[in-house]
Structure 1
């Protein structure tokens, strides 16, 4: 198989991921426009931080006034799983610092699942160009979707001030959708606890502490049935 065919196969493998990324990236861009991010800034931000959950967390923290040190700590904890992804795929990604850097930069949950599921033979190396096509397609769609969402959000707000209220709901709706997509019975109790803790801090006039305090709920042991 030629390098171009292998790359295009990687692009095709990424199409289901891209389809799922479009609405989330669009909503994230629309939410970022409400904080003053220009479309280009939103796109560059997605390029630098290729993580929907961390981007939503950062936006929520900026709104709440959460200290950036705490936000950075929470993002690092949330991203720890990517180290495990790298360990699982280490023997399947061809040698070469450039290849591993490019693929590692685009290694999301969905990209990892696709890479693992494409060939059950864990001893076989995955094609370099296929890996790059897979990760690069997901990244490009995410960046463009965020930029377009920000531009559309600005345009809608300018065309109709009433849209402001709907766009303000975009961020909490996005964050709720991301959390719900990862929810299971074992995490439901922690989600309820985190919500209760966060609501308590907001009610007592400390919204800047709501997110880090709510995150503490993840440390509580919960028995799964």
Structure 2
């Protein structure tokens, strides 16, 4: 792809993500203002923290006047998956120059990870230009949508009354199902779901997110990788052959 095509493709991907995540940004802006934040403070949090789920958790804890260290640990628990994202994309982002690499890790949110992985698997080059153009559009869209929600937040009312609170789980489910063709997807997903639901009832939110991720990682580490699974099938087939 030419540089122009890389830029255009990245912008298109970013625009789709920004459009689909608009309700979350608007919801966060409305909740932030409802918890005493100004429009500028809500926009600044979106610009610097840049993590929808962790921002929603943090803003709720701010509203309940929880200790700062509890808020930090809660945000860490929610965003721990980004450590895994960084490790998974290290071979790709590691090709970028240092400054672009640092910026790339900052822009590494859920849809950025998903699209980057899919592009790499399809054999298409993940260039700095493509990555930054997509990530930049998503980041700008997130901040703008936050400001819209903060400005018109009073018109939304109670998000739960109109079902907006379920948009984030549905969005994450859609991202997860995008990897359903991967090896061992269903046992890993099931382990993560069981671990998350169980820990939600035992230790509560937001720790169930990290615990569910840990369960999924443990099962993924135990199960054989694709190559070994294929070798085992070949061995089983040879054992069935006579002689």
TM-score of the superposition, structure 1-length normalised?
Answer: 0.73
- 1:180 to 1:196, Cα distance in 2 relative to 1, 3 A: farther
SS in structure 2 of the partner of residue 91 of structure 1 = helix
* Residue equivalent to 1:35: 35
Three-state SS of the structure 1 residue aligned to 2:91 is coil
Asked if the contact 1:26–1:148 (Cα under 8 Å) also holds between the matched residues in 2, the reply is yes
In 1: Cα distance, 2:210 partner to 2:45 partner = 29
- Residue deviations 1:44-67 (CA, integer Å, cap 9, x gap): 110011111100110121223322
Comparing 80-89 with 26-35, greater Cα deviation is found at: 80-89
Structure 1 residues 64-111: Cα deviation after superposition (integer angstroms, max 9, x where no partner): 332221221122232222222222222223331121122111111111
Further displaced range: 95-104 or 134-143:
95-104
Structure 1 segment 19-30 matched on structure 2, within 5 A: 19-30=19-30
Superposed CA offset, 1:133-161 (max 9, x none) = 1111111111100111110114x38xxxx
Looking at structure 1, the residues matched to 12 and 5 of structure 2 have their Cα atoms a distance apart, in angstroms, of 10
Residue number in structure 2 paired with 1:152? 152
Question: Among residues 192, 200, 204, which one is paired with 1:194 in the alignment?
Answer: 200
8 Å CA contact 1:91–1:125 kept in 2: the answer is no
Match of 1:178 among 168, 176, 180: 168
- Structure 2: give runs of 5+ residues left out of the alignment: 174-188, 220-243
Distance 1:137 1:114 in 2: 14
Q: 1:37 to 1:65 in 2, by over 3 A?
A: closer
Distance in 1 of aligned mates of 2:97 and 2:71:
33
User: CA RMSD for the aligned pairs?
Assistant: 3.3
- Judge conservation of contact 2:81–2:210 (CA < 8 Å) in 1: no
Deviations 1:113-151 (A, max 9, x none): 1011013267x7521110101111111111100111110
Q: Which has the higher contact order (CA 8 A, sep 6+)?
A: 1
Partners of 1:132 and 1:215 in 2: how far apart? 32
CA shift for structure 1 position 182: 4.3
Corresponding residue for residue 97 of structure 2? 96
Q: Which has the larger radius of gyration?
A: 2
State the 1:216 CA deviation. 9.6
Question: 2:6, 2:125 → 1: CA distance?
Answer: 13
Corresponding residue number in structure 2 for 1:160:
none
TM-score (norm 2): 0.68
Give the Å deviation of 1:195. 5.1
How has the CA–CA distance of structure 1 residues 27 and 195 changed in structure 2, closer, same or farther, with 3 Å as cutoff? Answer: farther
User: Which deviates further from its counterpart, 1-10 or 111-120?
Assistant: 1-10
